[in-house]
Chains A and B, each alone.
Chain A
Amino acid sequence: MLLTYLPTSIIEIIAFIISLISLSDKRVGWYKNFIWYLAIVVIIENFALAIVFYWHQPNNYWIFNIFQPIQIGFISWLMYKITKPFFNSKWLIVSLAVISLIIFIAENYNTGFRNYAKITKTYFAIFAVVEALLFYYYFLKQESNISITRYPPFWIITGIFFFYFVSITSNLFYDTLSAINKTKTKPIRYTIFLILNIILYGCWSYAFIWKKKTATSFTQ
């Protein structure tokens, strides 16, 4: 059982280490915050694993629910930072984040804090995809031709886009999938999420490395 969940944790740890190596330089600016975010991700993930496999508690959703607002906040803030140079995204992103939080509170109120917040996750995924598509639109529209291989924000958004876009289906069918997982131990949802995590943190790590390269070479 542990082997099913461990790879995701390992990937997050790798991403955290890469961020630590690449983004500890002062010149990377606000990218530094990735280190904190990924540190929280790693702690939450391993704590969740410990709950189930060390303390043998059956339910660890509450810890992910604690993490949910942090995720909404950080991803929204990231979106704002990245889209700011291309279009006036402030109010759109703030209101989508607020809506997500309201949905989250409502969902917790209705189903309890110890349940998987699938509605929140689904809506927030849709919002994130919309924001990512808006970024792509304005990114293509602008005049200067930035090389995407060397442009970290593009890869950060691409990671988010893949992760949330594909995760929508698994979240929609969460109930059935988790039932199947319980009866037949077919961890379909975890497998999909593992792939999505690889894509997300792969894109981010790539962005971190380029950020370090460009940030340190520009100011030399």
Chain B
Amino acid sequence: MEEKDSYIVYTVIVASCIFFIVALFIFFYIRLFIERKKRFAEEKINMQQAFSQMLLQSQIETQEETIAQLGKELHDNVGQLLSSTKMLLGITERAIDNPPETLLTAEETISKAINELRNLSKSLSKEWLQQFDLIENLQAEIIRLNSSKIINIHFSHPEKLVIDKDRQMILFRILQESIQNTLKHADAKNIFIDFLFTKNSLQIVFKDDGKGFDTAAKANGIGIMNIKHRIKLLNGSIEWLSSSTNGTIINIGLPLNKPSNEEGNHRIS
């Protein structure tokens, strides 16, 4: 009886332990499985995000290429025609003893056209723009547009921008597109562009005194979608506030990350 009793006691203890271990095993197995599933799902989401980011990037690169192509075509073809014309006018002028004022004005006009075309094609060319920083490029663009006397753009900006070149480029295109939208649709006389730095972000306020537009109706328009895509690529935020009396205000917010060492070195050299 003694032996049988202790035998049963041990059996119960061992069996309970085994059952406990089995239960524990099942529990940890479930935990592992769920954790893996979660990690897998997270990776999937990350991959999807990376993919859509890449897609955006390539879309914008394609656009950039198209813009550059357009600029080059304009410059090469129309530019050649204009310079040929200018040259012929020059020859004519030299052939006449007393060239009339109209001929000289025509020559001058053509020169202006060629110059404008050259500047325009520069503002479209990525290679050209990337030699300078955003502020220089914007200033050049503003000088070009202000000289047309259609619009008066006021630009207040800091001394230096700490944003890497690619981001500056995207930002430049956003502002270019916004200026174009104002020029095309707003009937505005003035545009105000302000760059404001907060602790860790750059706020850009773009304001015109035009007739505004229906932000809800145009929310999915190509122009606005383009800008939204670009902002998304910059991890930034954008909002349009518009009214017929106060014109349009665009608020752009960009997170600022500290420039990497590479960037810093580049700047020093």
Q: A contacts B directly in the complex (CB < 8 Å)?
A: yes
Interface set of A (CB-CB < 8 Å, partner B) = 133, 136, 139-140, 145-148, 158, 161-162, 165-166, 168-170, 173, 176-177, 179-180, 184, 186, 188-189, 192
The verdict on A145 contacting B9 (CB below 8 Å), with A162-B20, A170-B16 known, is no
Q: Is the CB of B12 within 8 A of A166?
A: no
Q: Is the CB of B8 within 8 A of A176?
A: yes
Which A residues are CB-close (under 8 A) to B31? Answer: 148
Q: Is the CB of B8 within 8 A of A173?
A: yes
Partner of A136, one of B8, B15, B20, B26: B26
Q: Is the CB of A177 within 8 A of B41?
A: no
B15: nearest residue on chain A (CB-CB)?
A169
B15 to chain A, nearest CB (A): 4
Q: Is the CB of A170 within 8 A of B41?
A: no
A21 to chain B, nearest CB (A): 26
Q: Is residue B22 contacting chain A, with contact meaning CB distance below 8 A? A: yes
Partner of A169, one of B12, B26, B27: B12
Which A residues are CB-close (under 8 A) to B22? Answer: 165
Q: How far is the CA of A189 from the CA of B38 in the complex (A)?
A: 40
A164: nearest residue on chain B (CB-CB)?
B23
B38: nearest residue on chain A (CB-CB)?
A145
Interface size class of chain B, counting residues whose CB lies under 8 Å from the partner chain: 20 to 34
Q: Is residue B19 contacting chain A, with contact meaning CB distance below 8 A? A: yes
Q: How far is the CA of A184 from the CA of B9 in the complex (A)?
A: 12
Q: Is the CB of A180 within 8 A of B30?
A: no
Q: How far is the CA of A133 from the CA of B27 in the complex (A)?
A: 10
Which A residues are CB-close (under 8 A) to B13? Answer: 188, 192
Which A residues are CB-close (under 8 A) to B23? Answer: 161-162, 165-166
Q: Is the CB of B16 within 8 A of A148?
A: no
B127 to chain A, nearest CB (A): 47
Q: Is the CB of A188 within 8 A of B19?
A: no
Further 12 A-B residue pairs, CB within 8 A, beyond A145-B41, A184-B5, A188-B12? A133-B26, A139-B30, A140-B33, A147-B34, A147-B38, A148-B34, A161-B26, A177-B12, A179-B5, A180-B9, A189-B12, A192-B12
17 contacts between A and B (CB under 8 A): A136-B26, A136-B30, A139-B30, A147-B38, A161-B23, A161-B27, A165-B19, A165-B22, A166-B16, A166-B23, A169-B12, A176-B8, A177-B12, A179-B5, A186-B9, A188-B12, A192-B16
Q: Is residue B258 contacting chain A, with contact meaning CB distance below 8 A? A: no
Pick the most buried of A139, A148, A168, A184: most chain B CB atoms within 10 A of its CB: A148
A207 to chain B, nearest CB (A): 14
Q: How far is the CA of A180 from the CA of B1 in the complex (A)?
A: 10
Q: How far is the CA of A158 from the CA of B20 in the complex (A)?
A: 12
Which A residues are CB-close (under 8 A) to B33? Answer: 140
The verdict on A145 contacting B34 (CB below 8 Å), with A165-B22, A166-B19 known, is yes
B97 to chain A, nearest CB (A): 89
Q: How far is the CA of A189 from the CA of B20 in the complex (A)?
A: 14
Q: How far is the CA of A168 from the CA of B12 in the complex (A)?
A: 10
Q: How far is the CA of A173 from the CA of B6 in the complex (A)?
A: 13
B20: nearest residue on chain A (CB-CB)?
A166
B220 to chain A, nearest CB (A): 30
B37: nearest residue on chain A (CB-CB)?
A145
Q: How far is the CA of A180 from the CA of B12 in the complex (A)?
A: 12
A149: nearest residue on chain B (CB-CB)?
B31
Chain B residues 1 to 59 lying within 8 A of chain A, measured CB to CB, are: 5, 8-9, 11-13, 15-16, 19-20, 22-23, 26-27, 30-31, 33-34, 37-38, 41
Q: How far is the CA of A188 from the CA of B30 in the complex (A)?
A: 30
B92 to chain A, nearest CB (A): 79
Q: How far is the CA of A173 from the CA of B9 in the complex (A)?
A: 9
Q: How far is the CA of A181 from the CA of B147 in the complex (A)?
A: 104
Pick the most buried of B5, B13, B16, B31: most chain A CB atoms within 10 A of its CB: B16
B36: nearest residue on chain A (CB-CB)?
A145
